[in-house]
Structure 1
Amino acid sequence: METLPAEETVDVGPPWPTKITVLLREGLLPWQELNVTAFLASAVAAAVPELVGRPYEDGDGTRYLAMFRQPVLVLQADAGALARARAGAIERGLPTAVFTADLFATGGDAENRAAVRAVRGADLDLVGIALHGPKNTVDELTKGARMHP
């Protein structure tokens, strides 16, 4: 099997200048927390592809998918904190993803987008959001949220 080409640039390591954060609403079921986190993280990867590193390869030459170059912080907060973080992120132009309670009952991507489109931003029943931006800004927007247990 072909080996990976040499890195053309040096990966940026800690401390990272930006932060990827998933903010979950308190009280979700465990399967909901995992589902929401996976969907929201995929949105950040799609919107900011430079955050994704290079593919992995083990000692046998088996290749694996690339992952984010930096950690994803998962936090919890109440519904009001999610709404404030969403509004602040939109106001600042940060890449933002939303997951609403309605999406637990839809059957696919087109239905998901229609469910979000049907509600004004300030009225979304948010169960999770994902943000990417400068560390200080993301920290400010998620102030008071707690690390997910």
Structure 2
Amino acid sequence: MFDSKIALIVREDLAIWQRLNVTAFLASGIAYAAPEIRGEPYIDAKGQRYGCMAGQPMLVFAADLAGLQAAHCKGLARELTLIPYVQAMFSTGHDEANRQAFQAEDPDNLNLVGLAIRGPKKAVDKAIKGLAMHS
């Protein structure tokens, strides 16, 4: 049905609030990176309009740090859209500080707690191969 695929990968050893927080930020990153996935507004039976959501599913996977780093490397090699979230971003309070925390990371050894990936289905499937759906 869709030519592209969206995978959100969240580190499995996080507290529940952290998993939810990371998932929300990753989903918002995909929405900004791919505005064409935006669905139509929701309208209830009384005609009240509500906001839009993505019109394409986002699948959530769990991984350990090594699994996240492997998906990151594969995503880079396949030139997929990547949205990263690193551990240090939990201690910041705004976007500029998040970007500074990310830039301070070793790019060859990111301490990833989450990663969103979007691109052609087969390429995303190769990047997330071996990861299980989040439970």
TM-score w.r.t. the length of structure 2 is: 0.96
In the TM superposition, what is the alpha-carbon distance from 1:120 to its structure 2 partner?
2.6
Whether the 8 Å contact between 1:89 and 1:95 is mirrored in structure 2 is: yes
Whether the 8 Å contact between 1:77 and 1:144 is mirrored in structure 2 is: no
Please give the per-residue CA displacement for 1:90-135, whole angstroms capped at 9, x wherever unaligned: 2221111000111111111010000001113222100000000111
- Rounded to whole Å, the distance in 1 between the matches of 2:88 and 2:18 is 12
Match of 1:143 in 2: 129
Match of 1:25 in 2: 11
Whether the 8 Å contact between 1:74 and 1:148 is mirrored in structure 2 is: yes
From 88, 94, 100, give the equivalent of 2:80: 94
From 92, 114, 126, give the equivalent of 1:106: 92
Larger radius of gyration: 1
Identity %: 44
In the TM superposition, what is the alpha-carbon distance from 1:49 to its structure 2 partner?
0.3
Whether the 8 Å contact between 1:22 and 1:128 is mirrored in structure 2 is: yes
- Rounded to whole Å, the distance in 1 between the matches of 2:15 and 2:22 is 11
Match of 1:52 in 2: 38
Q: Mark the runs of 5 or more structure 1 residues left unpaired by the alignment.
A: 1-14
Match of 1:128 in 2: 114
Whether the 8 Å contact between 2:74 and 2:126 is mirrored in structure 1 is: no
State how 1:80-91 maps to structure 2 within 5 Å: 80-91=66-77
Match of 1:79 in 2: 65
- Rounded to whole Å, the distance in 1 between the matches of 2:42 and 2:27 is 19
2:108 is paired with a residue of what secondary structure? helix
